[in-house]
Amino acid sequence: MKKYLFLIIFIISVVEAKEYAVVVQKGFANISVGKIKAIYLKKLKYHGDTKLVPINLGSQNSVRRSFEKKVLKIKHSRLKSYWIKQHYLGQRPPITLKSEAAVNAFVKKVFGAIGYLEAAKADKDLKIIYKWSD
pLDDT tens digits, 103-114: 999 999 999 999
Domain residue extents for the chain: 18-133
pLDDT tens digits, 57-102: 999 999 999 999 999 999 999 999 999 999 999 999 999 999 999 9
Beta bridge partners of 118: 20
**Residue 130 in 3-state DSSP?**
strand
18-133 classified as CATH 3.90.1570.10: no
| Gyration radius from the chain CA atoms | 17
